[in-house]
Amino acid sequence: MEYWEKRFLDGGKIWGEKPSATAIYALKLFKKHELNSILVPGAGYGRNTKLFTDANLEVAGIEFSESAIDIAKSFNPKTQFFQGSVLDMPFNDEKYDGIYSFNVLHLFLKDDRISFLKKCYKQLKTKGFAFFVVFSDMERSFGKGKQIEKNTYESKPWRPVHYFTENDLKEHFKDYSVIETGIIEDAENHGELGLHSHILRYIFAQKK
């Protein structure tokens, strides 16, 4: 938590104001399937939730960094924010048509990943949709740093990352009907790295 709070305090809108390419793709799928309400666990300061509220979706975000939520209040006031850990979901009784979660699931060790996904499953309506984006095993940092669990490395101190193969990601979503998985290259420009891209894996799946 301290790691993220410090990043937002020091860096503000770290990833800029534009949404991730994955959010643009997710929005196409959400429109195709006529979704109206979306939950975004780990919403940051709302660069992706803004894309969804601009498209007239009803959006709720969960985020544990107070600084990120402060930024979101002026940047994307249409998103309803709950402050707290996604591991403590639910924060309300609402069931959503869809969940979009960007680069959060891979931050947890195995037991917490399973627990997080169970909580997400419960917050979806029957036949609701999940679009999750995670670091893939094709990421540049894969294998760097101390190995904590299988395919999980601490490439930055205090921030373990689980790198997903396609089968591993599907296995995490075995309670859903998987509609599609794929790779999306996502450009970012921040910090010491400057302009760089991430090779992200996504899954789009439907609750049974």
Ligand X SMILES: C[S@@+](CC[C@H](N)C(=O)[O-])C[C@H]1O[C@@H](n2cnc3c(N)ncnc32)[C@H](O)[C@@H]1O
| Interface ranges with ligand X (CB under 6 A) | 4, 15, 20, 42-44, 47-48, 62-65, 68, 85-87, 102-104, 107
Question: What separation, in Å, do the N-terminal and C-terminal C-alpha atoms of the chain show?
Answer: 33
State how far the alpha carbon of 5 is from the alpha carbons of 1, 67, 183, in Å.
6, 6, 29
> What DSSP string runs through 114-134?
HHHHHHHHHTEEEEEEEEEEE
Shortest reach from residue 97's CB to ligand X, in Å: 19
Tell how far CA 116 is from the center of its chain: 12
Q: Is 34 or 111 the residue whose CB approaches ligand X more closely?
A: 111
72 or 124: CB nearest ligand X: 72
CB of 208 to ligand X, least distance (A): 26
Cβ proximity to ligand X, 54 vs 177, nearer residue: 54
Least spacing, CB of residue 48 vs ligand X, in Å: 5
Packing angle, helices 66-75 and 47-54, rounded to 10: 30
Minimum gap (Å) between residue 174 Cβ and ligand X: 23
